[in-house]
Amino acid sequence: MKSTAFVVLAAVAAIAGFATYRFVYAPQVGAPQSQPQPSPQTAAAPAATTDEDASTPQSLPDFTLMARDGSMQSIKSWPGKSMIVNFWATWCAPCRKEIPFLKELQHERGKDGFQLVGVAVDVREDVLKYADKIGIDYPILMGEQDAFDAVSKFGLESTGFPFTVFTDKNGHIVAMHLGELKPAQAKVILDAVTRVNAGELTPAQARVVVAKQLQTA
């Protein structure tokens, strides 16, 4: 029987299904002028005008969960990769809907240094059965309360599923997206991550670029 915490999560996920997206690092108008200025190498890029919540991590937090083969594995097991960490559950309809696109995304962007990892906040038996049924071929980590605890490391007061975190190759968080990920939104975010990896933008500058472009994506 699933714990009370997962019943609550199911209700939250149902609400999240109506959301198109939420860009957690949205820039705020009129940020303090004491914000760090870009270096000469990035002077042409948008200035970082984001006043970010101190509770939100700047880098991907470490957590260890059970992998598909039953071993324990850290989310830091892919050093040098730009991570796409997708939190989901089998009982979440928007999560199930976006998985075929996530499979395509890994196939298309894997060659560019991106690594997608699904983190299932769910009962192991249910996850394995569903993953085998629909042919999920990217890595999966899973857990119940321990996976829920991993979600809490991202500093959000409340969240639902699906919930996806994007980092650059050094593990710096560039975007956090709540709701089903659409192709146009993914392109905006991943293109910004690519620019960070190339040294064209800092992660903070990329967040401003992404927030602006997602308004029309």
| Greater pLDDT, 33 or 8 | 8
pTM of the model: 0.79
| Greater pLDDT, 192 or 47 | 192
Mean predicted confidence (pLDDT) in 93-117: 97
**Residues 154, 152: Cα–Cα separation, whole Å:** 5
Mean predicted confidence (pLDDT) in 146-156: 92
Q: Output the CA angle 154-210-106, nearest 5 degrees.
A: 70
Residue 156: pLDDT band with limits 50, 70, 90:
confident
| Greater pLDDT, 125 or 17 | 125
Mean predicted confidence (pLDDT) in 131-143: 98
pLDDT at 6: 53
Let me know how long the chain is: 217
pLDDT at 99: 98
Residue 155: pLDDT band with limits 50, 70, 90:
confident
Could you state, in order of their start, the residue ranges of all structural domains in the chain? Answer: 4-24+47-214
Mind listing the pLDDT tens digit for each residue in 100-109? Answer: 999 999 999 9
Burial of 140 (0-12, 13-18, 19+ CB in 10 A): buried
pLDDT at 3: 54
Burial of 185 (0-12, 13-18, 19+ CB in 10 A): buried
The highest-level CATH class for domain 4-24+47-214 is alpha beta
pLDDT at 25: 46
pLDDT at 101: 98
> Is residue 11 scored above 80 in pLDDT?
no
Mind listing the pLDDT tens digit for each residue in 57-77? Answer: 999 999 999 999 999 999 999
Closest CA to 175 of 165, 183, 184: 165
- C-beta atoms surrounding 103 within 10 Å: 17
The percent of residues above 70 in pLDDT, for the chain, comes to 74
> Is residue 128 scored above 90 in pLDDT?
yes
> Is residue 21 scored above 80 in pLDDT?
no
DSSP string, 13-54: HHHHTT----BTT---TT--TTSPPPPGGGTTSPP------T
Q: In sequence order, which residues have a C-beta less than 8 Å from that of residue 208 and are 6 or more positions away?
A: 27, 46, 47, 48, 49, 50
